[in-house]
Structure 1
Amino acid sequence: MPYVLLALGILLVLVAANAHAPRHDAVLVAPSFFLGWLTIEMAPHVLVLWAAATAAVASFGGLAGWAGWAGLALAILGMAGVAATLVASRRTVVTLRDSGAPLDLDPEGGPRYPRSHLVVPQLCLIPRKGVRVERNIVYREDGRLRLKLDVFRPVGERTGDLRPGLMQIHGGAWVIGDKREQGLPLLNHMAVQGWVGFNVNYRLSPRATWPEHLIDLKHFVAWYKEHAEEYGADPDFLCVTGGSAGGHLTAMVALTANVPEFQPGFEDADTSVQGAVPFYGVYNLFEAGPWPRPMGATHLLERMVVKQPFAENPEVYAKASPVTYIREDAPPFFVIHGSRDSLIPVAEARRFVAGLRDVSTSPVIYAEMKGAQHAFDVFPSYRTARVIEGVERYLTGLHRQYRQGAAPAVPGEVAQSLGEPSVG
């Protein structure tokens, strides 16, 4: 048993080290991501499991020799490393405040994210109290093609004005993913706060070829403006969010409003949105920078998504990049990325935000989550809860300005205009 404890200690140290310094090489990037993702965002659960396993091995004679005591020391060191990720996550509120997110806009306005979901993450799969979910509503039908969405909205009859709408776009490298798997913590929380959320599916590669993914989502925006009132939502107010490939598509939807190339057959439809919150997205497919080579030059994009060789068609990848469509009248953006993202380097978000701030006259807020991996918000962790609350405050500020008939401004000015606390 002493050598079992030694092996366990070595394993725990390696897992903790990977959480702090994930691998980026082609062979280990995927396993390193998944292991780090689970370790960081499920850190409290991981620590309990590790402590129990260490205690069990020790109680069965694991400390009988030098190997066992060395293993115990390594196990404690590994657990300390994971505990350090918890310390980083506790700074999420500080990060959000520093970014300019209006966390004080409604200090007493609504319930916070439920603590029970932090203890039992599976609860996020169940609609929260006060939320009604209508599933598998068809928003586009064309021959055998039937694209569906789920609607999250408050229980009870609506009184007063129509509610703001939020479109959620799942990620999955444009090839996998589903509305049942992503965005659930956010959509549930937004519905509790009075929003109507739409979790939207779209065609996936390799069956779909770019820009069919984006065209599908444009169809949803057009559908929303025709059918929003049936769900108690305001057809003139829609924000969009999504992570990873969904973050890329979020930015594309927001920046390419009414571009005819992406609206074949419905060119006259208004596809504008009033705000965008992309999580850990890809924004530039044709320039390297964060990667040794452009994202568009990868096997995934060349063979499965765009299906054109990058070297011969760089302009195609430029047209598929949000940075190409940065404009002065872009809608407000709240860009969110993890500092330890091993799939999409954080430098990708930084350069997108810098380019957007140089051109756009709308607010551009950027929150870099210290110690967070890719897809951190899939789990209802402490970090996820605070980020979701920050996103809700931000979007609520935009909606209030819209109702006032004012142009978007920094959220602190929204709070001041309402006589509420501003954010420093």
Structure 2
Amino acid sequence: MKIRFIMHDVYGRGGGVLTVVRGLVEELAKRHEVELVSLFRARDEATHRLPPGVPVHTLIDNRPDQMPTGQTGRARRTASQQPSRLIPAAEPRSRHYSRHSDEQLTQYMESLRDGVIVAMQPGLSIATARLAHESTVSIAQEHRPFVVRPKEIRAAMVEHFPRLDTFLTLTDRDARRYRRIFKGNVDVAVMPNATPNFAIAQSDLSNKVVIGAGHLLKGKGFDRLVAAWSMVHQRHPDWELRIFGDGKNKPELERQIAELELNGTARLMGYTNRLPEEMAKASIFVLSSRVEGYGMVLMEAMSCGVPVVSFDCPTGPRDIVTHGEDGYLVPNHDIDALADAIVEMIELPHEGRKALGAAGLQKAQDRSQAAIAARWEDLFREQQATKGKIPQ
């Protein structure tokens, strides 16, 4: 079976979606012909390890030494300055899309007449729905919660997604919301993310370290975590908070840390491509997001045997964390409750934290790459059978 995953840029830093795709592709490639399709490429080496043996097909190579010259180059520059007609301006990456990317996407999609094409980012999902040939199984998966998608994006989904074979969400809550707006015109199903395969040692939970990780943006809520940490620090000054990631909110967080006199105990560690190793040095992981698509980072922490504390934000944490069994859930926006939960976990006997971590590790293993990949394969076969093709 030929399976293609189309992404914005598989060479960039990306985030949770790229992590999910890399793991899924690596597992599927053991049994199928799989290809990664990168709409853009801007660097020679990928920031994260790409699945070994899986080819990457780049549609637009923006590396300086790959830019065309002469008349071809002028035509490309002109088209690149014109806004996309395929992808709505409300798409988060809209500034990257143009008439040139429209042309390349159209040319690529029209070349496909078999197999499966999967898109996992909103602009490319809309383009796939509009352009994929009816003989190709077309699937889109949403990785952000329903509530954060602008009305323009939802309207484009309602208009174009009936041409998809299947639209997937990560949670039942979002599936119900999308079914309401699609009014029976789109096949909606739930497909959770798998746990990344982290071949590293588990945390022994002995270090007095609490960790958070993600883009330093408002939605990730690290300002809330720092505010909570100011209360935790008063009761446990020997513990340290480490926040990994970068983003435009870094200066604001630095000021907040200084104003709360937390320098030295709350540290912004910057971006790392070795997050699993850093998680294995921690004893508690905290997710402070205002909103999540799924909260994949919770599964990453659990796979390292690290117990978690999370806001019960939309959507995902409630689908992952069982309160009191493998972590703690606290009401969204309640910073005092977040601080109390962190303190409670700190004050647990070491064996108590180990029990939470072990339960989380078991949950992560139950959602392994192999188990989730098998569900994807079942979906592919069902859709190929519906199209009258014989699955292989």
- TM-score with structure 1 length normalisation? 0.26
- TM-score with structure 2 length normalisation? 0.27
Question: Structure with the greater relative contact order (CA < 8 A, sep ≥ 6): 1 or 2?
Answer: 1
More helix by share: 1
